[in-house]
Each structure stands twice: as C-alpha cells, then as structure tokens.
Amino acid sequence: MEKKTYNLTPEQEEQLVESEFRDLLAGYMASNHRKKVDIIERAFAFAKSAHKGVRRRSGEPYILHPIAVAKIASMEIGLGSTSICAALLHDVVEDTEFTVSDIEQHFGKKVAEIVEGLTKISGGIFGDKASAQAENFRKLLLTMSKDIRVILLKMADRLHNMRTLGSMAPNKQYKIAGETLYIYAPLAHRLGLFAIKTELEDLSFKYEHPTEYDRISRLLKVSEEGRAMGYNNFATPIRERLDAMGLKYEAKARLKSVYSIWRKMETKHIPFEEVYDLYAMRIIFDCPDGVGEKEMCYRIYAALTDLYRPHPERIRDWIAVPKANGYQALHVTLMGPDGNWIEVQIRSRRMDEIAEKGFAAHWKYKIGGEGEEESELTVWLRTIKDILDDPNPNAIDFLDTLKLNLFSSEIVVFTPKGELLTLAAGATVLDVAYTLHSEIGSHCIAGKVNHKLVPLSQKLNSGDQVEVLTSQSQTPKPEWMTFLSTAKAKTRLRKELRREQQPYIDEGKKIFDKFLEENNITLNNDVMTKILGTYHVTSREELFLRLGNGEASIDDYLNVNTSKNARSLVSRLFRLGFGGSGKKKEAPKLPPVMPSPGKINTKETYILRFNDEGRNFTLSDCCGPIPGDDVMGFINDDGIVEIHSLTCPRAQALKASYGSRLLAVKWESVTEKFLAKVRIEGIDRHGILQELTRLISTALDIDIRSLNIQAREEVFTCNLSVKVYSTSDVDALCSKVMKIKGVKRADRVR
C-alpha cells in the first residue's frame, strides 16, 4: 500500500525521494544492461523539477510515482536505460508545460517517442456515444507495433496504480480494478508478464471482493503448515534424484494465487477445502555444457516419472511448441504420496526468465536482431491489426473482441502443408479459413480434419490437420458468427457482412432521415436509445439495415401530411416507443423505481433504499443480484441506477468502458424479497423431493417459485427458484438442505 507521508517534514520527504531513486539505480546497476547512469540521473532531475509541488491523493510527492514505475520497468520487467528514462518522464508532457520536443531535445528521439506514445493513450473517444476507455486501449495497442516498450511501461504504470489504489474513491476503485481485470491482466498474460498478470488479478480481486479476499488469505495462512509438510514429503525424493544427477537447479513451490483459488471455487462450486491443487512445484535448472535445454527437460521428466506416476492426460510440452507469448516449459502432473495430483513445471534458467519477466522484454531491445522471438510477437501483433482497423467500432464490441483475442487457452493446428497455426480454444474450421484470408473465409463451405470431411462449424483440437474447402458460389452468412471463436475471424466476417449489407444500410438511413425531417423530430442520444429499444436492435446500423431491407417499416400514418400538432404528437409517440408495425411495443415490466433526486454524486457511496414508493434502483437481468452480493451501480441512459453483481460479465465490460458512470453502492435494510436460483445434487431415493419441498417451504418459510428435478442413473439434479430477502437466506437454505440424507451439493447459481 502507499506510504503515508502527510506528517513528513520537507527534509524527510527529500530524503525519501532520494532513497527511492537510489534504490532504482541500485537495481539497474545489478542488471546486465549497459550502464548509462548519467542519462537516468538527468531524467530524474528533469521530472523532479517538472512535478515540483504536485502531490498524489495520498499526500505523497508526485515524483514517487514515476520512480516506482521506473523500478517496475527495470527490476520486474527487465528493461534498460531508455525505458527507465521514459518511465521517469512519462507524465511530464501530460501534466506540465513541457512538450515532446523538450523531451527530445534533452533525452533524444527514442525516449521522446515512447513518452509521446504513453501521452497519446490518455483521452480520446470513438464517436458520439462510445467509450473513452475503449479508445485508450485502441491507442495503446496501436503503439505496440511501433515500440513494444510503450505497452510495457503502461503495464508498469497500471501495476503501481493498482498497488496504491487504497487512496482512491470507491467508484474509482471499481472502475480501475474492473478494467484491470477485464483488459490489462489478460494483456499481461498475452505478453508473457506472468508475475504482473497474477498480481493485477489479485489486487483487482482484493478491491472488488474484500471479504472473500481476506477469507481465502486467512484460510491459506491457517493451512500453511500442513501444506509445507505435504510439499516436503513430495519434493524430498525429487531433490535427492536431481542431486544424484549432478544438476545445478532450484526447486520451489508456487502457491496458487488468491484470485485463482476463488475462480476455481466459483466455477467448480466447491469449498476451499476441496481445492487440492493449491501449489505446483517448479524446477529451474542451469543447462550443463554440451546438453541442450530440451534434452535436459526430458531427462528431468524421466527422473520424475521413475519416482511418481504421471497423469496421462495432463502432460504439456510447451518446449516443442511454445505458447504464442513465448512461454516454454515442460509440465507434468504427478500423483503425490498423499494421493493428490501435483503439477511440476520444468524450465531452464532462460525459460524461467522469459516466463516471469515477459517475452516482450527479450524482443529486439535486449537480444538484438531479427530473432525467432521477434517473429512470434510480430505474428501476434498482426492478429490484432484487423480489430484496430475496424472502421465502425462499438465500444463494448471492441473490448469484447479484444478480450477474445487475449484469450489465454490456445490450440495448435496444422495446414495440409504442415504450417502451424495457433488459435483460441474452441476454434472451428471457419476460424482457420478466416485466419488464412478473408476471401477463403467468405467462400468456405466445409473442411477436412485429419482427412475426414466435416462441416465448417466443426470445433478443432490441438494437433488436428485442417484443410479448408471453398466454393465461389458461397457467401458469408450472419449465423456464421456463432461458429467463430477467434477475434480475427469475427472481425473479418463482420467486415464482409457490412460490405454486403451497405446498400441496404444506406437506403435505411435515407428512410430514417426523411422521417425525422418530415416529422420535425430532433435526434439526440436519449431519443436514439429509445428508438433502438423500440425496434429491439443494438445499433443504428442494425436499425438502418432492417428499414432498408424491408424487415421493419415506419408507420404509414406518420407522413408529411400530418398537422403541426399531429407532428408533435408523433414525436412524443416515437419517444414513448411506437414504431415498426404501428402498434405500441410492450415495455418490459420493471419493479417500481423512484426517480433520482437530482444529479447523483458518483464520488459518494449510493445507498440502495426501499420504501412504500418503490426503490431507487433497478436490478439487471443479466446476473440477478440480491442483497448481500458484492454489487456496483451503473447510471444508465435514463439516469436510473442499475445494479450488477461485480462478477457479472456485463459488469466487467461496463467497468472497462464507462468508468464515469459507476457507483459504489450499499444495501439498506431490506424490506422485500428477491428471486434466487439454487442447484441441488445428490443420490436419488424415494421421497427425497417431498423432504426438500417440506423443508424449504415449511421449516424455512421460503416461497418456492419454480422447481425442476431430474434423475438419471440414481443421481438427481434439482433446479430451484425461491424468493428470499438476502444471500444469508440462501446460505441457510443450502446449509439445511445439505443435512437431508442423499444430498451431496447445494449451491446458488446465477
């Protein structure tokens, strides 16, 4: 957390700043970079003077932030003097009167270009209603193709901001933590910055779910002694075998992160006690003279499997085929003496450095020349070019597509000529077609996987050989979007569909513009939002397409012959939701929502209130939050506070895109019931359904709204909807249900 400097004297502050800078220099001097201390000292003096008198929210002198970013860039990512200078100067152009030209004059063109790249990332919008944050990511990625150090320094900047997030207002914490988890952590993973990715995830989780973070941290501390004993029992025979081989190595346990543990508990619906893979073992060796890294990895693998039984389906060879982010290692999962499976990661010292500090740091600037590493990264940069070049981006679509491209799980397939393609897990024949070329994708009719004919929607597995079959008579179809898993393919298909649909879109826009003009309707964002809602479409383009191809029409009675009063009425009717066939669309039935009393202060915690008039919020349909959940507020287009669970995928996108409309919220005393869903599993027996319903409705006095029970081969599954006041009611229900004979699991589902 941030150092509190409120009570320091000017002399003490000066000593603190000087101490932090000397720490930065000491780390740099210990690295294997050429020692250019003079330019770093000049950059520090320049930045210190430029930021003189400026403080962070915590009260610290502002200069401590660029020093911290420079330390991360140097010691945790492994960058050299150019990056350290740029880190020290990264806020000078944005926050002071100095220009990029001033930076170039004092520190050279390369430092100035990196500072300019970092400055450009701030601000900017896609269009009249899109997200500034999405545009920031777009600019961020565009800078990568010019100089990868821009993105690496941005990651260092984000990491320090996350480490010092405690001094920010709650709504800012949600925004920054949300966009970090949604974009920056996957991006760090894709760049090979594993240690930074893990810390970003844990810090985001800490601020979004503080209670769960503290609980899991306490459980890890309590179980530490037993875990250490189990690890030593497993590791001791391995160390003895490696010592006998005469190997110089380091063996250590890698504890699963708090966020990873929580994710596993959530996705598998299991308690902490059932997360057995809390740690993995990592073996890092120095390669002996005359022995290749790959050969040494396999020798260690052979030694391990002589001691313990390997899991046949959990061997991962990332040496022969490295991950797209440059990661190399041999993973094997072994059965330990206590009966639990333990993963062992085997790496050379070089592989470990790339895995921990990041593949990008070993690109051009550290190893020099056009090596294999550069070609790997260049290939990845090309995969995002299609997204960046999309001329009609929608903020949320852009972020979703980008996140899809940062997807961590990968498969490797081969073309008929033996060329290797790395794709997102779940990729299909059609993904391969569009990866090869837009034209091949648009004319794809089927494929051959391992010489067997398959449809274009066929999902692929690692190692498949894929041949794409095409026909000139084939054209792209909108339903193909559901067959695709890769960002490149989705972006290319979207472009092809837009090109074919453009004449209809143009015609629909003419119809729409003529209607507005003839009826004297002034268009603004609020009116447009309601019009799109009336037609159940998500964008103007989709509306224009439906009008242009005849799928929708503007009512015949709304024409130029209407009187002035009628035109006014028409305008009001349109705003209220008339359109399409001429019949009023049924608005969704929302719970009574009290109008907000004036402008909402996003800097204060918003109290979620219930009274006789209704509530001062509405619940989102996507995640169904109830009192007791960790939630956030989002001010929608109608000025109403919309409540989302912090784990909701839609909330993740909102946090990354619309930070200025987020609210920290707090439940007031609850006076009404909410719908919750519970899943119960167990061994089927006669009368168990009757026991369940009697317990829930009678003993617990909980209203059952729906119940569906299915039994298959002596195992039953019951999906239940109940009305409850809060999560504590659901917890009590699950706890009681678990005491019924035969019930093995009872969890709330969302």
Q: pLDDT tens digits, residue range 360-410? A: 545 433 444 434 444 455 555 665 555 565 555 555 566 666 665 554 467
- pLDDT tens digit sequence for 72-101: 998 888 888 899 999 999 888 888 888 888
pLDDT band at residue 138 using 50, 70 and 90 as cut-offs: low
Q: What is the pLDDT of residue 87?
A: 93
d(CA 229, CA 548): 70
CB atoms inside a 10 Å sphere around CB 504? 17
pLDDT at 558 over 70: no
Catalytic residue among 20, 41, 95, 410: 95
Q: Which residues pair with 718 in a beta bridge?
A: 680, 709
Exposure of 147 in the CB half-sphere (CA atoms within 13 A): 19
Lowest mean pLDDT among 122-126, 203-207, 512-516, 654-658: 122-126
d(CA 543, CA 549): 10
Answer whether 665's CB lies under 8 Å from 633's CB. Answer: yes
Exposure of 652 in the CB half-sphere (CA atoms within 13 A): 17
Q: What is the pLDDT of residue 374?
A: 44
d(CA 335, CA 343): 9
Average pLDDT over residues 557-578: 39
**Sign of dihedral through CA atoms 592, 596, 600, 605?**
negative
Measured in degrees and rounded to the nearest 5, phi and psi for residue 535 equal -90, 0
d(CA 586, CA 579): 11
Q: What is the DSSP string of 286-355?
A: PPPTT--HHHHHHHHHHHHHHHSPEEEEEEEETTTS--TT----EEEEEE-TTS-EEEEEEEEHHHHHHH
Q: What is the pLDDT of residue 571?
A: 45
SS3 620: coil
**Sign of dihedral through CA atoms 259, 265, 268, 269?**
negative
∠ CA 474-479-483, nearest 5°, is 90
Catalytic residue among 13, 94, 102, 343: 94
* Burial of 221 from C-beta contacts in 10 A (0-12 / 13-18 / 19+): exposed
Task: Locate the DSSP E strands across 209-320.
Answer: 249-255, 279-285, 310-317
Contacts 24+ apart (CB under 8 A), 378-383: 379/324, 380/190, 380/324, 380/325, 381/144, 381/145, 383/487, 383/488
- pLDDT tens digit sequence for 93-103: 888 888 888 89
DSSP H or E segment with residue 497: helix 487-518
Among residues 459, 495, 497, the alpha carbon closest in space to that of 477 is found at 497
Q: What is the pLDDT of residue 173?
A: 85
- 562 DSSP assignment: S
- pLDDT tens digit sequence for 205-237: 999 888 899 999 999 999 888 888 888 999 999
- pLDDT tens digit sequence for 415-462: 888 777 878 788 999 999 998 888 999 999 999 998 889 999 999 988
Answer whether 428's CB lies under 8 Å from 483's CB. Answer: yes
Which of 135-149, 334-348, 486-500, 704-718 shows the highest mean pLDDT? 334-348
pLDDT band at residue 592 using 50, 70 and 90 as cut-offs: low
Average pLDDT over residues 587-616: 66
d(CA 555, CA 565): 17
Measured in degrees and rounded to the nearest 5, phi and psi for residue 605 equal -70, 125
Q: What is the pLDDT of residue 131?
A: 52
Answer whether 413's CB lies under 8 Å from 460's CB. Answer: yes
Answer whether 343's CB lies under 8 Å from 277's CB. Answer: yes
Among residues 664, 675, 670, the alpha carbon closest in space to that of 609 is found at 670
Lowest mean pLDDT among 219-223, 353-357, 673-677: 353-357
The separation between CA 357 and the C-alpha centre of its own chain, rounded to angstroms, equals: 20
The dihedral over CA atoms of 386, 391, 392, 395, expressed in degrees to the nearest 10, equals 60
Q: Which residues pair with 420 in a beta bridge?
A: 414
Q: How many residues does the chain have?
A: 750
d(CA 142, CA 151): 10
Answer whether 488's CB lies under 8 Å from 440's CB. Answer: no
Token pair belonging to 590: 């929302």
The separation between CA 705 and the C-alpha centre of its own chain, rounded to angstroms, equals: 35
Q: What is the pLDDT of residue 428?
A: 93
Lowest mean pLDDT among 284-298, 398-412, 698-712, 719-733: 398-412
Q: What is the pLDDT of residue 281?
A: 94
d(CA 48, CA 166): 24
Catalytic, 95? Answer yes
3-state helix, strand, coil in the chain (%, to 5): 50, 15, 35
pLDDT at 139 over 70: no
**In percent, how much of the chain has pLDDT > 90?**
20
Exposure of 595 in the CB half-sphere (CA atoms within 13 A): 2
The separation between CA 241 and the C-alpha centre of its own chain, rounded to angstroms, equals: 41
Answer whether 62's CB lies under 8 Å from 56's CB. Answer: yes
Q: What is the pLDDT of residue 562?
A: 38
pLDDT at 203 over 90: yes
Lowest mean pLDDT among 40-54, 591-605, 633-647: 591-605
Lowest mean pLDDT among 411-415, 531-535, 607-611: 531-535
- pLDDT tens digit sequence for 256-302: 899 999 988 888 778 888 887 888 999 999 988 888 889 999 999 99
The dihedral over CA atoms of 27, 29, 31, 33, expressed in degrees to the nearest 10, equals 130
pLDDT at 556 over 50: no
Which strands make up the sheet holding 662-663, listed edge to edge?
A: 618-619, 641-645, 631-635, 662-663
Average per-residue pLDDT for the chain: 79
Contacts 24+ apart (CB under 8 A), 406-409: 406/183, 406/186, 406/187, 406/189, 406/190, 407/186, 408/186, 408/189, 408/190
d(CA 630, CA 648): 10
